[in-house]
């Protein structure tokens, strides 16, 4: 049995579900620092507790379709990918702020190649890029989908992260594949090219995950 795929006839519905409910830039997604843990369950992961003890860097994370929040902690970097741990053992990999893989959220993204998109985002340029997503199918085999993505720098935007005010480019990435159309949103620091906040598709069934770096 192959991995469930969205039929071409449902691609427009997928677009509406993923792109039609975007909030105004930077509004309402994240709890205000310095207490982003309010209302989040106590950690059950031993690895998370160990990272908490050493005051590892933190990342606010929201699985948007479930309104599920976490404060993930940085573990280590491997082959250019940052590994972040959630309170319940969920893992997220980010390469240059872009989603590289997920483990434990359901329908996991096994790997993603987003290098072309990142090159445009980091420089604040509009343009076209190709990206690749790999998922497990029903036979536990990797299937890879390719997407053509249009990246637009929409506006300059001052992003509030706690008490800090970060000058960013608000950028939108619209991607078309054989059976899915989706949008990602990014707030890129104009001074450094670092993605400080984003809303990125994890997979077609879990939907979009939002990230915001916790500034020390």
44 close to 89: Cβ distance less than 8 angstroms: yes
Q: Could you tell me if residue 156 is inside a domain?
A: yes
Q: Could you tell me if residue 68 is inside a domain?
A: yes
Position 58 confidence tier, pLDDT thresholds 50, 70, 90: very high
Q: Could you tell me the CATH number of the domain that includes residue 118?
A: 2.40.360.10
Q: Could you tell me if residue 55 is inside a domain?
A: yes
Q: Could you tell me if residue 2 is inside a domain?
A: no
**Which residues is 170 bridged to in the sheet?**
155, 187
Specify the pairing of strand 164-176 against strand 207-213: unpaired
Q: Could you tell me if residue 154 is inside a domain?
A: yes
Position 19 confidence tier, pLDDT thresholds 50, 70, 90: very low
User: And the tokens for 205?
Assistant: 């069934």
Position 192 confidence tier, pLDDT thresholds 50, 70, 90: very high
Residue 134 pLDDT > 60: yes
Average pLDDT over residues 135-146: 88
Residue 143 vs residues 14, 109, 136, 177: alpha-carbon distances, Å: 20, 11, 6, 14
How many structural domains compose the chain?
Answer: 1
Which domain, by its residues, includes 188?
A: 8-213
Q: Could you tell me if residue 1 is inside a domain?
A: no
Position 139 confidence tier, pLDDT thresholds 50, 70, 90: confident
Q: Could you tell me if residue 200 is inside a domain?
A: yes
Q: Could you tell me if residue 191 is inside a domain?
A: yes
């Amino acid at each position: 049995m192959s991995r469930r795929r969205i039929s071409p006839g449902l691609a427009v519905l997928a677009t509406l579900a993923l792109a039609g409910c975007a909030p105004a830039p930077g509004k309402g997604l994240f709890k205000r620092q310095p207490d982003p843990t309010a209302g989040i369950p106590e950690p059950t992961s031993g690895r998370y507790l160990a990272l908490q003890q050493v005051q590892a860097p933190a990342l606010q994370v929201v699985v948007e379709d479930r309104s599920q929040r976490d404060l993930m902690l940085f573990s280590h970097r491997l082959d250019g990918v940052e590994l972040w741990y959630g309170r319940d053992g969920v893992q997220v990999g980010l390469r240059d702020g872009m989603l590289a893989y997920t483990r434990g959220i359901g329908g996991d993204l096994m790997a993603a190649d987003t290098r072309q998109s990142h090159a445009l985002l980091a420089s604040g340029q509009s343009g076209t890029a190709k990206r690749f997503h790999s998922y497990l199918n029903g036979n536990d085999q990797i299937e890879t989908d390719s997407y053509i993505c249009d990246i637009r720098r929409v506006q300059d935007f001052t992003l509030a992260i706690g008490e800090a005010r970060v000058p960013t480019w608000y950028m939108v990435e619209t991607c078309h594949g054989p059976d899915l159309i989706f949008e990602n949103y990014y707030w890129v620091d104009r001074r450094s090219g670092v993605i400080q906040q984003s809303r990125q598709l994890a997979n077609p069934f879990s939907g979009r995950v939002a990230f915001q770096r916790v500034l020390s």
